[in-house]
Homo-oligomer: A and B are copies of this chain.
Amino acid sequence: MLFLVRMDVNIPHDLPDAQAADIKAREKAYAQALQNDGRWRHLWRVVGEYANYSVFDVGSNDELHTLLSGLPLFPYMKIHVTPLAQHPSAIA
């Protein structure tokens, strides 16, 4: 089941650099683990913004919320989720 997710990151400028670097490193590892297990299907940077559009493939809404709220950057992101369905003209 697919969901389009937009994430906008906003790290407070007074967060200590070491803390920010640690969060980002954990975020990267987390994102790559989920991509490897197939649930984080696509991850694209929005040109010019500290933001991404992603596509998740999960079994339920609860599973998606668990994945998203576990992101190390979750407290510093604005996230919007759009549920997707099969399109009648899609060939895949």
The residues of A with any CB-CB pair to B shorter than 8 Å are 1-5, 12-15, 27-28, 31-32, 35-36, 42-50, 52-53, 55, 60-62, 64-66, 68-69, 75-76, 79-92
Contact = CB atoms under 8 A, between A and B. Distances in A.
Contacts of A90: 31, 35, 42-44
Given A13-B12, A28-B88, A65 B79 contact: no
Given A53-B82, A83-B3, A48 B65 contact: yes
A61 B1 contact: yes
Contact of A80 (B1, B48, B68): B48
Number of identical monomers bound together in the oligomeric complex:
10
B85 A65 contact: yes
Contacts of A76: 13
A79 B49 contact: yes
